[in-house]
Amino acid sequence: METIAVGGIQLNIKLNEKTMESYLESVIKQFEYYKMLGEKTFEQVPEEKLFWQFHEENNSIATLVKHLNGNMLSRWTDFLTSDGEKEWRQRDEEFENDIRTKATLLSKWQEGWACLFDALQPLSVDDLDKVVYIRNMGHSVTEAINRQLAHYAYHIGQIVFLGKMIQQADWESLSIPKGKSKVYNQDKFDKPKRRGHFTDDL
């Protein structure tokens, strides 16, 4: 329920439930999309290159996964009831490049995402205006979700970019391949207009 003032009178305006349900469905699909981009990168990159750093001050793919794991566990554990920056989180240690195997990397990756989806999937429209805290700063649930979606897209973009640097000419595009835009667009426009999430066609 949202409260607004009109002519000095407080009015309670109920959010359009269908729109907000659509938001929850859409945001889960968007998180799933970024998870897929990371996993398709891991599939292409040789195991030993997952730990490669361009420079000692730069993160490897493995380090980025470790950071995402730490952030996800902290933000999404007891999402509605405790601060998103947990006392037990050791953020600085997330940037120590100490993952040694692909199996460990994938385990941390899956653990973080499982925590996220376990927190998101039970949410209802009524939860979206609740206030949650990150380092004592209040966010609506919607704001907190959007904050994390942008954060993860930022780091997964880095993972994909590192994958492209490592694989160079052997990289298989995760979006529209270079020079194929016309073919891709023609395929889309040959289909009737419809409602859906863009990931439905992937």
Count of CB atoms within 10 A of residue 133's CB? 13
- Contact predicate 125/89, CB 8 Å: no
Give which of 57, 47, 146 is closest to 105, Cα–Cα: 47
Q: pLDDT by residue (tens digit) across 22-78?
A: 899 999 999 999 999 999 999 999 999 999 999 988 999 999 999 999 999 999 999
Report, at the CATH architecture level, how domain 16-171 is classified: Up-down Bundle (1.20)
User: 76's torsion region: left (phi>0), alpha (psi -120 to 50) or beta?
Assistant: alpha
Q: Where along the chain do its domains lie?
A: 16-171
Provide the 3-class DSSP secondary structure of residue 172: coil
pTM: 0.88
Supply the DSSP symbol for 173: P
Q: Which residue has the tokens 């996800």?
A: 72
What is the pLDDT tens value at each position of the chain, 202 positions in all? Answer: 455 444 555 545 554 777 788 899 999 999 999 999 999 999 999 999 999 999 988 999 999 999 999 999 999 999 999 999 999 999 999 999 899 999 999 999 999 999 999 999 999 999 999 999 999 999 999 999 999 999 999 999 999 999 999 999 999 999 888 888 998 898 889 889 888 788 877 7
Please state, in angstroms and rounded to a whole number, the distance separating the CA atoms of residues 54 and 60: 8
